[in-house]
Amino acid sequence: MSAVDSGSLSQTLLAVLAFVAIVAALPWLVRRMQQRQAIARGGDVSTRVLSAVAVGAHQRVVTVEVGEGAHKTRLVLGVTAQQINCLHVLTTSTPATAPAPAPAADVATFSQAMAVAKTAGPADKAPHVE
């Protein structure tokens, strides 16, 4: 090989490597630009996809949370290839009510019933406690 051939080969290899590096960095650059545009438009509005369930070949039900702090809203969206429909709106400004704990009397009754069931043989039936 001559010096001209090895020089053009290294130059071509360098150009190919530069092209691969640009193609690899392009998605990161686009994402970064989209984030900057969103901040410039209306501040840092948080949007999160909470869940997505496929209900058909090209249909999904997606739950999305939008907003910040006390103004969070959850949207249940129907997503197809052609359109997006809002199926339901859930506001999260009010905390969800937790189920009430079982009364202590029911717990004691249940533990008593379990104790009777353990001591009763297979032929014996434990009495039904209400």
Type of residue found at 109: T
pLDDT (0 to 100) of residue 44: 53
Domains of the chain, residue spans:
1-44, 46-112
pLDDT (0 to 100) of residue 47: 81
Instruction: Determine the average pLDDT of the residues in 9-34.
Output: 93
Instruction: Determine the average pLDDT of the residues in 41-45.
Output: 61
Average pLDDT of the chain is 78
Q: What is the DSSP letter of 61?
A: E
Instruction: Determine the average pLDDT of the residues in 62-75.
Output: 85
Instruction: Determine the average pLDDT of the residues in 106-123.
Output: 68
Percentage of residues of the chain with pLDDT beyond 90: 36
Count CB neighbours of 61 within 10 A. 16
pLDDT single digits (tens) 22-38: 999 999 999 888 888 87
Q: How far is CA 27 from CA 39, 40, 127, in A?
A: 19, 20, 68
Assign 3-class secondary structure to 25-54.
HHHHHHHHHHHHHHHHHHCCCCEEEEEEEE
125 three-state secondary structure: coil
- Residue 45: pLDDT above 70? no
